[in-house]
Amino acid sequence: MRIAVLIVAAGRGTRSRDDGASRAAPKQYQPVRGVPMLTRTVGVFLRHAAVTHVLPVVHGEDLSYYAACILPDAKLIAPSLGGASRQASVRHGLEALASYAPDRVLIHDAARPFVDAVVIDRVLAALDAHVGVVAGVAVADTLKRVDAGGSVIDSVARAGLWRAQTPQGFHFPAILDAHRAAFAAGVDDLTDDAAVAAWHGLSVFIVAGSERNRKLTTAEDMAMAEQDFPSALLPEVRTGTGFDVHRFATGDAVCLCGVRIAHTHSLEGHSDADVGLHALTDALLGAIGDGDIGQHFPPSDARWKGAPSHLFLADAARRVAALGGTISNVDVTLLCEGPKIAPHREAMRGRISEVLGIAVSRVGVKATTTEGLGFTGRREGIAAMAVATVTLPGAH
């Protein structure tokens, strides 16, 4: 079953910028609890096991903001450009998805970053029995009809009234037909896809959404989101460890933590054999539970022959960033009788800080001998240990 997700992120977000900061990024690119809203929203769907394709629809002027906050992912399709209305933006996205022939599509607002797998699963499950399914919340407040002067005219019975949220899920061919028909008929101002479906005569079913899944529209919403749901969104601190060994071979220099050091031998390995960066790469991958260096860069792959190991480290850092994570600190210990590490320690810290994009104060490099004991003591090779601490946004 192919399940595509279309994320509508083409709005101008002007309502959240009532402080006059007109040059600020649109709200979907602004941070919510430290992570850009769109990064959060896209991440929820990328991490959902049933989702096979994710297509964001963005405004043409926002591509640089998009590139800065969304990293490549196997499920992610290059963004489509939005249209003059929300309805047009969704239609552009659906047309772009058509070549992937999804069975189902979930259409979701970028401005609802706190959607979760429970709501997504409810919509997907109901799609087995219905052609269109909307997440929503039954109205609990008493509703008043008010005149232009602010006087209450009467109460409106709330029985049977729901606030529609997203995701709104559909059998893909049906909603594509509905959007095409509405476009052909010149109907272009429907504010959600359930309305487009209903306009086309499709029946739409509603399932429970959640209060957390509310739309962040105004500056006040953004400010409230910073304070809400503390327990669910507390940052999560992760640690990972790495260990590596490379054997000495004939040569005149070693590469350690990204620094070339003249020595009586070289280190043997498929890449540049930088034992320090290999241990550190594994520590970062370990912290996010994303395999190890050998899985992502197999020695059997000729592309990595002689490769500088900073490429592996940068890839691990990208994987952390793709989860909205930040690297709090890293610490590497090199175990060898020689070469002497101390004279190169600051260069190594600087190089690691550069590759990871973190302050030098967050990078530790240390070395020890093993008192002549074991393989490092016999100068047969160099070992390295590393630890990394990563902070992930909450709700992972």
DSSP state letter for 76: B
| Separation of alpha carbons 374 and 292, rounded Å | 26
Q: Which of 278, 310, 319, 344 binds Mg ion (CB under 5 A)?
A: 278
For residues 278 and 349, which CB has a smaller minimum distance to Mg ion in the complex? Answer: 278
**Which CB sits closer to Mg ion, 29 or 297?**
297
CB of 295 to Mg ion, least distance (A): 13
| Closest to 168 in 3D by CA, of 213, 203, 120, 125 | 120
We find the least distance from the C-beta atom of residue 246 to Mg ion, in angstroms, to be 6
User: How many chain residues bind Mg ion (CB under 5 A)?
Assistant: 2
- Residue whose token pair is 């040569």: 251
Q: Which stretch binds Mg ion (CB under 5 A): 140-148, 273-281, 328-336, 373-381?
A: 273-281
State which residue, 18 or 380, has the beta carbon closest to Mg ion: 380
Residues 247, 68: Cα–Cα separation, whole Å: 40
**Window of 29-37, 223-231, 272-280, 356-364 that interacts with Mg ion by CB under 5 A:** 272-280
Which lies closer to Mg ion via its Cβ, residue 299 or residue 374?
Answer: 299
Q: What are phi and psi of 377, to 5 degrees?
A: -65, -35
Task: State the minimum distance, in angstroms, from the CB of residue 332 to Mg ion.
Answer: 13
Q: In whole angstroms, how close is the CB of 263 to Mg ion at the nearest point? A: 17
Nearer to Mg ion, 30 or 271 (CB): 271
Q: How far apart are CA 302 and CA 286, in angstroms?
A: 25
* Residue number with CB closer to Mg ion (167 or 258): 258
CB of 309: closest distance to Mg ion in angstroms? Answer: 8
CB 287 within 8 A of CB 390: yes
Two tokens, residue 36:
């850009």
275 and 244 Cβ atoms separated by less than 8 Å: yes
Q: Taking contact as CB under 5 A, which single stretch among the options 227-235, 278-286, 336-344, 363-371 is the one that binds Mg ion?
A: 278-286
Nearer to Mg ion, 73 or 380 (CB): 380
Instruction: Report, in Å, the least distance between residue 58 CB and Mg ion.
Output: 40
Q: CB 281 → Mg ion: shortest distance, Å?
A: 9
User: In the complex with Mg ion, which residue's Cβ is closer, 17 or 278?
Assistant: 278
Tokens describing residue 159: 């029985």
Quote the Cα angle for 186-200-192, to 5°: 75
Draw the binding track, 200-239, toward Mg ion (x: CB under 5 A; -: no contact).
Answer: ----------------------------------------
Q: How many Å apart are CA 113 and CA 110, to the nearest integer?
A: 6
Contacting Mg ion within 339-378 (CB under 5 A): none
62 binds Mg ion (CB under 5 A): no
Question: CB of residue 364 vs Mg ion: minimum separation in angstroms?
Answer: 20
**Helical pair 345-356 and 275-287, crossing angle rounded to 10 deg:** 40
Strand runs labelled E in the chain: 3-9, 31-32, 35-36, 53-58, 80-81, 104-109, 132-138, 143-146, 152-156, 162-171, 204-208, 236-250, 253-256, 259-262, 265-267, 326-335, 363-368, 381-392
Distance of closest approach, residue 382 Cβ to Mg ion, in angstroms: 10
By the 8 A CB rule, do 359 and 353 touch? yes
Contact region for Mg ion (CB under 5 A) — 34-42, 94-102, 137-145, 276-284? 276-284
Among 309, 315, 313, 293, CA closest to 256: 309
Q: Please, which of residues 236-265 interact with Mg ion by CB under 5 A?
A: 244
Q: How far apart are CA 336 and CA 192, in angstroms?
A: 64
Nearer to Mg ion, 65 or 312 (CB): 312
Query: Closer CB to Mg ion, residue 193 or residue 244?
Result: 244
Q: How far is the CB of 95 from Mg ion (least distance, A)?
A: 47
Strand 104-109 versus strand 3-9 pairing type = parallel
Query: In angstroms, rounded to a whole number, what is the distance separating the alpha carbons of residues 284 and 290?
Result: 9
Closest residue to Mg ion, based on beta-carbon distance = 278
Binding-site ranges for Mg ion (CB under 5 A):
244, 278
